Structure formats: C-alpha cells, structure tokens
Structure 1
C-alpha cells in the first residue's frame, strides 16, 4: 500500500526545485502573528490551559461562526478533532478521492470504512444512495479535486444522512478559500460536527491549531477525548490564533486572490488536459496516461514533486498538484511536457485527454 508520508519524507530528502506536493502554503505567516506568539512567550504564557481552549479565543471563534462559545472547542490541529469523531463511530464513510488521514485514522482505531468513490466523468459528484455509515465525512472544498458542492447537492446528501440517522463530520479547512458560494453543512443539518484549521488561510501549519463546532454535548465528548490524549493547546499558540482572527477578513480576500491567480496560471499552462477546474482550495487532480507513482517518480527525477493519486484512494491514473509551493510555473510546464511525452508513447493504447473543466471564465 502506498504511504504518502514516506513519499513525502523521500521528497524532503531529494529537495526538488519545484515543490507541488504537500498542502503547505508558501505564503509567509503574517509578522503580526509571529510577534504575538513571541510576546505571549515573553509574558510567561507557557503552561497548561483549559482543555476546551481559552475563553477569549472560543468567544471570538463563536462570534465569527455565529454560534455560542460552549459550542466551540479548540484543538492542536484539525486532525485530532477528526480523530475524536472517528474514534466514537463504528462505521465511517468517506467520499473519495479523499485526504488519506481519514482512512489512516480509521484503521488506527479499527473502524470499518465505506469508501464512496466518485469520478472525473461525473464531476466528482457523490451518489447519496451509497452512503452507509454511522459517521459520514465531508470535505469541501475538496482535497484533492478542488470541488465545491452546490447547496442543492449538499442538501441532498444531508437529507440522506438525516433519513438514516448518520452524523456528519464536515472538514471545512479550505472553506475560506472557496472561489464560489460555499454553504456550511451545519446551516442545513443539525447533526453536524464542523472542523476548521488555521493551517491553510493563515499558513500556520506548524502552529497546530484548529477548532470544532457542534452542539454542547458533542463538544463535551470531544473535550473528554482531548483530555485523555493531548491535554490542551499551548497558550502562546492560542494567542497567535487570536491575532490571526483579527486579520481574518483582510487575509481571506488577499490569500484567496493569490490562489485564484495561481489557478488561472495553471489553467493556461495545463489547458486541454484532463481535470476539473478547481472551485476552491489550491489543488488540481490531473489524469495521467500511466501509473501515477511511476509518473510522480519521473517528475521527481526532473526536480518536480507531486503526489500520486493513489494517496487519495483508488486513483492510480491521477496526480495531485499543489499550487501552494515553490517553483510553481516551472513545475507546471515540466508536468505538461512529461504528460505530452507519455501521451505520445501511449497513443496507440487508446487514452485520450480532454478539455473538461479547464475554461478560466469562472475565475475572472
């Protein structure tokens, strides 16, 4: 089985010129956030804090999200909050292609996983009749496809979940980076746990800071999970989060526009190839005419790092391109060159690219 983390470590060892592999934003953390972190440390805020998070931070999150503070819990990254939900479920459903941590965590806890596979041909649209689980994980804007569900599509899924008594975990870490209207799942369904992170919009990946929103009893259950595992988030990290939220409106516009421009550039360079135009986030899930691990190795030999599609489910003929790393333009041009070369050598085998979804009109 392909291990994305081992492949990532190998990429780090090679240190290629173009890093289009990880979801690691290359936009620097704002200096205001760094300064607030340092000042918090100087004030001696280095001890334990309450498990649910500092009241000031939870109240600010609650104000932004339109909920009460006791419906918010802060955690050391979004992953531990996702793990808390998976640990409590007997059977988990994930819509694929998907972030592989969902499957890794599920296997770690010995959970049965129902993978709902989607396809490029169907616009990465999930079939609601295939949902069979106690916990359904949604991730939109989606990693790796960039798909954002329309409200009608989301409503259909949530209605199916309600009929079957399924709890929904909505991983919305890319929500502020949506290029179209984004509808939070909790606005349409009560039995939802929403998870967000400071990693993508604020580039605070190494700070390990996230939060969950749900009804009070669910938040208390997550709190018990954190108490028994990671205890709390360091206070200086939470102070950094508070400062980040002060910049939220400004950064949402600036950072989203940065990724819009990068998507436009990618659409221009990759025009005519087979992928869905990203509707949010900073990834492109591109079909390639050969085994994706072999193709990724081929790119790596030319100094370009991407992730093979098998890191996101049963997609051996796709690669994920991250638009958040260094050497983006050169990397995209090398990808096109290598793909065209592969297409020429495989022309007799009947694979054909298409121009599905590559118009840049929707981003102007």
Structure 2
C-alpha cells in the first residue's frame, strides 16, 4: 500500500517552491486564538483534564452543533476518534477515493477493509446497496475530490446503511468549507457518529483538537478508548478551541470565500482537463495523461509538489492538487504546462490511454 506520509517526508527534503500536496491551510491562525493559548499557559492551565473534554468547550460545541453537551467528546485530533470507531468494528467500508488514513488505521488494528468504488464518470457518487461491513466511513465535503453530496444522495446512502444495521462514521472536517448546501449526516439518521476538527477552518493543525458527536452510549464507549490511549487534550489547547468557536461565524464566511475563489481560479486554469469542479474543501482530483505517480515525480522535478492518485485508492491516473499551499498560481501554471506537454508526447495514443486506469480500489 502506498504510504502518503513517506512521500510527504520526501517532498519536505526536496523543498519545492510550490507546495500543493498536503492539506495544511496556509491561512494563519487568528491572533486571538494564539493569545488565548498563551494566556491559558500563563494561568498555569497545563495539567490533566477530564478525558471527555472540559465542560465549557463541550457546551460551546453543543451550542454550535445544536446538540446536548453529553453527546460531545473532545480528543487530540479527529484521527484518534476515527480510530476509536474502527477498533470496535469487524469490517470497515470506505468510499474511494479517500483519505488513506482510514485504511492505514484499519490495517493497524487488523480490520478488513471493504472498498466502495466510485468513478469520475459518475461524479464520484457512491452506492452502498451491497455493503457487507458493520462500519461505513463517509467524508463530505470529500478529500480528495471536493465532492459534496446532496441531501437526497446522502439520505439514500444512510437509509441503505440503516436497513443493514451498519453504523455510519461521518468525517465532516471540511463541513464549514462547503461551497454548496451541506447537510450533516446526523440530521438524516440516528445511527451516525460525526467527527470534526479545528484543523481546516481554523488552521489549527498543530493544536491537534477534534471532537465527535454521537448518542450517549457511543460517546461513553469512545471515552473509554480515549482513556486507554491518549488520556485527554491539554487544557490550553481546549481554551484555544473555545476562542476559535467564538470566531466561527466570521471565519466560516471569510475563509470559505478564500477557498471558493481559489477553487474557481484553479478550475479556470485547468479548464479543459478532466476533474469534477470542487463543491467544497480545497482540493482538485485531476486525471492525468500518464501514470499519476510518474506525473507527480515529473512535477516535483519542476518544483511543484502534489500527491499521486494512488494515495487515495486505486487511482493510478490521477493526482490531488491542494489549493491551500504556497506558490499556488505558479504551481497551477506549471501543472497545466506539463499536462499539455504530456498530451503532446502521447498524441498517437490519445486521451484514451489515460482513462484506462480509472477504477477505485478501496482504501483524506
């Protein structure tokens, strides 16, 4: 299995001018959040806290999300919460293309992984009628495709899962960065655990702060997993989270606008090539005229870093472009130039050669 983290480490060694690879927001953390973190440290708030999170933060999240505080749990990042769900499953289903951490975590715990194949021709729309897993992971707005399901599409998936008694884990870390109407999965089905993060909207990746929303019994089960692994989130990080939520409305409006403008600009620069225009998040999943890994290497030699499609499943003829890194306009221009060059060199084969490898396997 391709390890995106190893490739990421290699990119760091090369130090390319345009970093369009990782989902690391380039928008600085708001100064108010930094100041609150520092003040919390100065107040000596550096010890252990409740394993489920401090009451003030859980209540603030509950207010924002429209749930009760006892249906919320805080954790050091969204990934440990995803792991808490995977560890209790027998077989995990993922909609591909997908963030490969889902598969990495599942394999780490010795879980079977069932892949739900989607294609660009069907606009990355999944069908789950034949699912055999007991945990289904969905991620919308989607990493890497930027797809956002309509309420009707989402309801169809959730109803199919409910009929089979399949629990749904909805990874909604990009929910506030949707450019179209976004429907939280929990509004359509009770058998849903929602996972969210402070990393994307608030740019707080290094703070490692996430939360889950679920029924009370589910939250207690997740809390036992947190207790046996990472214990708790530092109090000064949680205080930063409270301040971030106070700025949520303003940031949601402003940051969403920034990424929407970038998505439109990127779609214009890359117009004529094969991708679904982003409906949310900050990625473009682009089909390439040659093997995606080779194309990613080709771009890296030109000072542009992207991730190959195989980082997100069995998509050998794709690359993922992040719209949240430095050197974006330069990188997009070079990507277009290299796409045109690759097409010219394969003129005798035509575009058909690039589409033969489009299938989804099953592995953000």
TM range (shorter): over 0.9
Deviations 1:261-314 (A, max 9, x none): 101110111010000000000000000011111110100000000000000000
Give the secondary-structure state (helix, strand or coil) at the position aligned to 1:338: helix
**TM-aligned CA deviation for residue 204 of structure 1:** 0.2
Q: Specify the alignment match of 1:187 in structure 2.
A: 187
Matching of residue 98 in structure 1 with residue 94 in structure 2? no
Deviations 1:205-238 (A, max 9, x none): 0000000000000000000000000000000000
What do residues 11-35 of structure 1 show as CA deviations (whole Å, max 9, x unaligned)? Answer: 0111110000000000000000000
Q: Structure 1 regions of 5+ residues with no counterpart?
A: 355-364
> Which residue is equivalent to 2:137?
137
Q: Does 1:22 align with 2:22?
A: yes
Cα displacement string for residues 105-151 of structure 1 (whole angstroms, at most 9, x for unaligned residues): 00000000100010000100101223221000010000000000000
Within 5 A, what are the aligned runs for 1:104-123?
Answer: 104-123=104-123
Tell me which residue corresponds to 2:328.
Answer: 328
CA distance in 1, matches of 2:129, 2:340: 38
Mapped partners of 1:105, 1:323: distance in 2: 26
Contact kept? 1:92, 1:137, Cα under 8 Å = yes
Of 274-283 and 126-135, deviating more is 126-135
TM-score normalized by the length of structure 1? 0.96
Within 1, Cα distance between the matches of 2:37 and 2:127?
A: 45
Q: Name the CA distance, whole Å, in 1 between partners of 2:144 and 2:197.
A: 17
Match of 1:37 in 2: 37
Moved more, 96-105 or 258-267: 258-267
Instruction: Answer yes or no: is the 8 Å Cα contact 1:116–1:130 preserved in 2.
Output: no
Aligned equivalent of 1:146: 146
The 2-side partners of 1:130 and 1:115 are apart by 11
Q: Is the 8 A contact 2:78 2:195 kept in 1?
A: yes
Q: Distance in 2 between matches of 1:285 and 1:146?
A: 8
Alpha-carbon shift at residue 352 of structure 1 (Å): 5.3
Work out whether residues 272 and 353 of structure 1, in 8 Å CA contact, stay in contact via their aligned partners in 2.
no
Distance in 2, matches of 1:85 and 1:242, equals 25
Q: Paired residue for 1:80?
A: 80
Structure 2 counterpart SS, 1:347: coil
Contact 1:176 1:252 in 2 (8 A): yes
TM-score by length of 2: 0.96
Structure 2 residue runs without a partner (length 5+)? 355-364
Kept in 1, the 8 Å contact 2:116–2:128? The answer is no
What RMSD in Å do the two structures reach over aligned CA positions?
A: 1.0
1:215 aligns with 2:207: no
Q: Are the aligned partners of 2:343 and 2:350 in contact in 1 as well (CA < 8 Å)?
A: no
SS of the equivalent of 2:341 reads: helix
- Runs (4 or more) in structure 1 with deviation over 3 Å come to none
